[in-house]
Structures are given as structure tokens and as C-alpha cells.
Amino acid sequence: MSKAVFVNQYGGPEVLSYQDNPIGAPGPGEVLVRNTAIGVNYIDTYYRSGLYPAKLPLIPGDQAAAVVEAVGAGVTGFNPGDRVGYASKPLGAYTSERVIDAVLLVPLPEGISNEVAGTTLTRGLTVEYLTHRLYELKAGETALVHAAAGGTGRILCQWASNIGARVIGTVGSEEKMDIARENGCSEVFLHQQDFAPQVRELTDGQGVDIAYDSIGKATFMKSLNCIRPRGMMVSFGNASGKPDSLDVLELAKRGSLFLTRPTLYGYTSNREDLLLSAQRYFTAITSGLLDVENGVPFALKDAAEAHRHLEDRSIVGSPILIP
């Protein structure tokens, strides 16, 4: 009998319930996997709280490292015993075993541990599309990165810096400033302050080429004030809540800005894009371009504690669930 963590009603971490979860055999095109390390990401808290409404009950989670246990009819490219990872809809990763469509799986190469894949795959694929496909970040450009000491922020700052971009970061506490600098930021501010004047000063009044905002409500308008004319605003998270509604004329007032609200699923919805993104991310790790974390382990039954760890922004280190 598989075990899983369910959301039976919306709320805080206390609503996460550890229950039995019967699993059937894989059907055509499907694979039965045994999860070895399950990622815990902010999007999981959005589904738990109801910010992202979904039919209840639900099993949260969209990311894990796993081992193939059995394959259904018509599945090619995967065999029992293969190490795989996934970071994609549908939800349901907070479980010891699950049946999943084979097209959602990526092979884990040598040099990529279960813990690294379980901790960072969603974040790494996110950073890949943010820096390579949504907007091809170039050497000499300047990027503003919020939550620069967080799980996604650290990968984003490293990758952008290694591309040759100048990275200006924001963090939630002075204790995190050194972490942001160690991961590629040339300048760091507290995101609670009005950092826009300082960012403008650092860029000789022009503003940054692109702002990557995963915080949301608390930083959204301040981010817009940091961007050069015809620059790009990327709102890809809601850690402080959903941004307020925007009058589109605000984009015109600030110099014909571009605004996008992307999701990972929009950039990995076909298999070719998924494999490209994963290959690019794994190569960045194995080549030494990126230094990524193994995660802070919690037992699957302790998912509520893992969510509290994630949402306490004073803590450094991304949680993973170990079945």
C-alpha cells in the first residue's frame, strides 16, 4: 500500500494529511515509479492554501526523483530500475509510489543524485526557460533578481552571472546578503525597502534589462520602477501574495515595458522542450557551471513541517520529502 499526503481542505500546513493511497498497475503509455526524493516548492503551498484552486481532495507536489518499478504497454525508453525525474503536471508527487505518463519523465544522468533532482529539478527547469527561452539573457545585460538567496534565486543568480550578466539581488534579511553575493550578485538590497532609486543609480539612471520577481505583491510595483524602457518584467511567483491588479497604462508610463506571467508548464508542455530544458540544466550542473543544493530532508509523513520550513523565509535550505 502506497502512502501519500493529501489536502482535504484548504488552509495552513496543518491541513496536510498522511494517508493510505492505493496504486494500480500502469496502463498504456504509463509508468509506475517509486519516489526517492520529493521536492517541496512554493507552488505546493498555493494549492494547499487555495490560492490556486483545485478539486479536493488532492495530493500536492509536481517534482520528484524516482525509480521505475514497472512500465505499461507501448512505453519505450524506460525500464524497471531506471532513475528518472519529473517536474510537471499533474499534481501528485507527495506519495511513495505513483503511476505517471511516461512522456513526463526525464532520465537522470550520472552525476545527478536523487537528492539534487528531488530538490532542484523544478527550479532548474524554471531558471533554464527564464534565462534561455522566455528571454535570452546576454552578457553585459543587467538583471534584477528577487529572493536571491532562495532555492530558485540562487540558481538564477549563478546562471545569469555565468552568462556574463550583471545581477542585482534582493533578499529578506541582512543575514542572507552574503549568500546572494556568493551566488553571483554584485549588489544586494533588502526587498522590504524602496530599492528602485538605488537600482536606478547603479544603472546610471537607465534601469535593468529584466526583472525576475518571484515575491509578488510586496515587490511587483517596485520592480516595475527598476526597468529600462522596453525592458522585461517577469512575474513568476507569489511568495508574498498575488500582485494587485495592474492598469496596463502603467507599462506605457514606464517606457513601453513588456510584462509576462509565465509558468514552467507553459515552457515544458511538449516533450522536446522538456528534454531540452532538462539536458541543459543537468549539463550546467555536471560541467560545474552551477553549484546546487541537496536539500533538507523531512519524512513524507512530516510534510507539514517541511511546509513550515519552506514558508519561514528566515531559514536557508530547501526541504525535500523522503518516503
Residue carrying the nine cell digits 484552486: 53
**Assigned domain for 267 exists:** no
- CATH number for the domain spanning 312: value is 3.90.180.10
Cis peptide before 297 (omega within 30 of 0): no
pLDDT of residue 238: 85
Instruction: Write the burial class of residue 89 (CB in 10 Å: 0-12 exposed, 13-18 middle, 19+ buried).
Output: middle
- Contact between 170 and 192 under an 8 Å Cβ cutoff? The reply is no
Angle at 148 between CA 39 and CA 231, to 5 degrees: 110
Give yes or no: residues 242 and 156 share one domain. Answer: yes
Give yes or no: residues 14 and 87 share one domain. Answer: yes
| Nearest in space to 166 (alpha carbons), one of 145, 182, 197 | 145
Residue carrying the nine cell digits 496504486: 23
pLDDT of residue 314: 64
Question: What are the DSSP calls for 224-260, one per residue?
Answer: HTTEEEEEEEEE---TT-PPPP--THHHHHTTS-EEE
**Assigned domain for 266 exists:** no
- CATH number for the domain spanning 183: value is 3.40.50.720
Q: Residue 218 sits in which domain range? A: 138-261
pLDDT tens per residue, range 268-303: 999 999 999 999 999 999 999 999 988 899 999 999
**Assigned domain for 91 exists:** yes
| Nearest in space to 86 (alpha carbons), one of 108, 110, 104 | 104
pLDDT of residue 313: 67
**Assigned domain for 269 exists:** no
pLDDT of residue 242: 87
pLDDT of residue 294: 86
Instruction: Give CA–CA dist 43/46, Å, rounded.
Output: 5
pLDDT of residue 315: 66
Q: Last residue of some domain: 237, 261, 285?
A: 261
The model's pTM is 0.91
Give how far the C-alpha of residue 243 lies from the chain's centroid of Cα atoms, to the nearest Å: 18
Ranges of residues in the chain whose predicted pLDDT is under 50: none
**Assigned domain for 222 exists:** yes
pLDDT tens per residue, range 179-229: 999 999 999 999 999 999 999 999 999 999 999 999 999 999 999 999 999
Q: Last residue of some domain: 210, 235, 261?
A: 261
Instruction: Give CA–CA dist 210/144, Å, rounded.
Output: 6
